[in-house]
Structure 1
Amino acid sequence: MELDIQVIQQDGSNYWLSDLGIQVEKFSPPAPTFTRTYTSVGKYNVASSETHTSERKIPLVFDVKTIDSVDQELMRLKLFDLFRGYEDFYVVSSVIPSIRWPVHADDGFNVDPYEASPIMTEDVTVNLVVTSGFGETINTTNNMKDDIPLGFDIPFTCLPPYRFTNQSDVKVFVGGSIPLLADGKTATLTFHGDVASQLSITNKTTGQVFQLNQSLKKSQTLILYGMVPVVDGVNVYSKGNHAYLDYVKGINELQIAGATNYDLEFDTRYYV
């Protein structure tokens, strides 16, 4: 398969580079970069800080075919606009079309003729900075039923989508390179059901318990995204136990208590 790259801009415009006469030579995302800081403790010991994600760059290398010198100059201007440094856009590889990379162009780049040729350029290198540090699946788990992405090792016993009705014990799968944390890249839990006074949702895998101390009706919508629970658009953090739910890589076992006649939905992207 010939490598091609799709560019998707914020206004919805999208282009396959091959349609513009651009031949992609290289697009190889490196592994995520993690950093720590170290502090000397005593004479012979060192303590390290928590791990944090740092800048991640993807070199995109290509050359451009044009019909004459005027066309070459027009393509130069097109490329300057396409690979903008002032706003984010997505790039998608034709090899793994289920993953998109949120990026922006870093530094400048040159578009030079190959040996003064009006129809071919030297290799052009555009450094793309992955804005959030990770690529992500285009589809969320809610939309993966008929298009399971390759490379995430999703077990057949725990395939998305993750929607459950009146099931007190359920399992969801987190694929990709990182766990889902409430204070970072997380998942969305959506609950509809009848609750008399207290709802508990436990991630038995992590040992975390979220509780909401109020009654609910099936017609109401509780959304737990990150660290703040919301009911029908209203922040109800003060009515909870101020806890949150993280999700480890792999299978997470969830338990629901205190509810009847309910539906629970778990939705997320996978990050690489």
Structure 2
Amino acid sequence: MDLEITKKNGAKYRLSDYGIVKDIIVESPEVILRRRQVPGRPGAIDYGMDYGDKRIKVAFKFKHEHNIDYANLRDELYGFLLDEDSYFIQEKRSKDEWRYEFVDFGQAPINNYGLAGHNVSGYGWHVRLENAITPEQVVKGGEIELVFVTAGLPFGETTYTTMDLHSTGYDENLDVYGTADNIDFDYTNYSFTTSTFTIWNAGNAAVQPETMYVVITVRGLTAAKSFTIRNNSTGDVFTITKALSSDTLVLNGIKPTVNGINVFRNTNMQAISIKPGFNSFTLSGGTFSSVDIDFRFYYK
């Protein structure tokens, strides 16, 4: 198994280049119950729940040849693991168990099964390192535990969007798509010319436009008075009350624009969420040339 780290500047690091990832524990998001106890009443009043942080714990062993190399390698790990900015991590595994033989210091350990680490999924997490790194030096190596905590959303987020999937279709040879993404091979279309259509959200968390990436683009839009986008599966309705003529409407999260100009005041001030699974859409009130539904999949 392996862990790939991608910094905001695009720099990538793999822990397998420095040693062995012994275990990766991906916890569920914290569950924060909203309850109130009332004196004289048995039990508690349930007001629902919220998601807290998610933690990813990594047991890691790095290898050194000479005693002085231990300090050099330790400090190199500190250099890219400790960062003021958050970064993106992805879990990688092979189909079978990895076994290694070590080489000289500065060279990557050899996986003697010749197995490459692939994405378990096409998603990862935006995180910060939560714990101080406290290495324990052992014979020709050091062992550490890394504890990452999500920075922002406690959900996994795909590196690709639905329009990427629409362009390529699902291809197991493309490493961007993982083996656990829940993609429906029959529903990889996210661009339409019809006023009714159905899309598939492969994630198990609803896409909320206030905090998650979702962009709906309607091109060549003409409407006399108003135009409506309805997600029948969630009941969400977005309406723009404005005459349109071969315009481009973009609903970027909660921000609507027409030809790049903000038109929030000319709408019903609502947005479109996307639930897990199938979502049925209806567009009405005008004509258009195409509509794209672009979003990422999110996983608990």
Instruction: Give matches, 1:113-152, under 5 Å.
Output: 113-114=137-138, 117=139, 119-121=140-142, 123-131=143-151, 132-144=153-165, 145-147=169-171, 149-152=178-181
Q: In the TM superposition, what is the alpha-carbon distance from 1:49 to its structure 2 partner?
A: 2.6
**Contact 1:143-1:161 within 8 A present in 2 as well:** no
- Please name the residue that 1:203 is paired with: 231
Instruction: Give matches, 1:160-179, under 5 Å.
Output: 160-165=188-193, 167-179=194-206
2:94 corresponds to 1:67? no
Give, in whole Å, the separation in 1 of the partners of 2:179 and 2:265: 41
**Contact 2:122-2:181 within 8 A present in 1 as well:** no
Structure-1-length-normalised TM-score:
0.89
Q: In the TM superposition, what is the alpha-carbon distance from 1:153 to its structure 2 partner?
A: 3.2
261 and 222 in structure 1: CA distance in 2 versus 1, 3 angstrom threshold: closer
Q: Which runs of 5+ in 2 are unaligned?
A: 94-119, 172-176
**Contact 1:103-1:129 within 8 A present in 2 as well:** yes
221 and 106 in structure 1: CA distance in 2 versus 1, 3 angstrom threshold: same
Give, in whole Å, the separation in 1 of the partners of 2:233 and 2:258: 26
Question: Paired residues, what number?
Answer: 262
Q: Mean alpha-carbon deviation: is it higher for 226-235 or for 238-247?
A: 226-235
Q: In the TM superposition, what is the alpha-carbon distance from 1:183 to its structure 2 partner?
A: 2.4
- Kindly report the root-mean-square deviation, in angstroms, between the aligned alpha carbons of the 2 structures: 1.9
70 and 161 in structure 1: CA distance in 2 versus 1, 3 angstrom threshold: farther
2:183 corresponds to 1:185? no
Q: In the TM superposition, what is the alpha-carbon distance from 1:146 to its structure 2 partner?
A: 3.8
**Contact 1:193-1:216 within 8 A present in 2 as well:** no
User: Structure 1: which amino acid aligns with 2:10?
Assistant: G
- Please name the residue that 2:258 is paired with: 231
Give, in whole Å, the separation in 2 of the partners of 1:74 and 1:179: 45
**Contact 2:121-2:180 within 8 A present in 1 as well:** no
- Please name the residue that 1:31 is paired with: 28
Secondary structure of the 1:36 match is strand
**Contact 2:218-2:288 within 8 A present in 1 as well:** no
Q: In the TM superposition, what is the alpha-carbon distance from 1:244 to its structure 2 partner?
A: 1.8
More strand by share: 2
Give, in whole Å, the separation in 2 of the partners of 1:35 and 1:85: 28
Q: Which runs of 5+ in 1 are unaligned?
A: none
Q: In the TM superposition, what is the alpha-carbon distance from 1:103 to its structure 2 partner?
A: 1.0
Secondary structure of the 1:74 match is helix
Q: In the TM superposition, what is the alpha-carbon distance from 1:232 to its structure 2 partner?
A: 2.8
2:50 corresponds to 1:52? yes
Q: Give deviations 1:49-86, integer Å, cap 9, x for gaps.
A: 34211121111110001121222111111111221252
- Please name the residue that 2:283 is paired with: 256
Q: Mean alpha-carbon deviation: is it higher for 174-183 or for 62-71?
A: 174-183
User: Structure 2: which amino acid aligns with 1:187?
Assistant: V
Identical aligned pairs, as a percentage? 23
User: Structure 1: which amino acid aligns with 2:128?
Assistant: H
Q: Give deviations 1:92-113, integer Å, cap 9, x for gaps.
A: 1222152222111012011231
**Contact 1:41-1:47 within 8 A present in 2 as well:** yes
Q: In the TM superposition, what is the alpha-carbon distance from 1:221 to its structure 2 partner?
A: 2.6
- Please name the residue that 2:92 is paired with: 94
Give, in whole Å, the separation in 1 of the partners of 2:298 and 2:215: 15
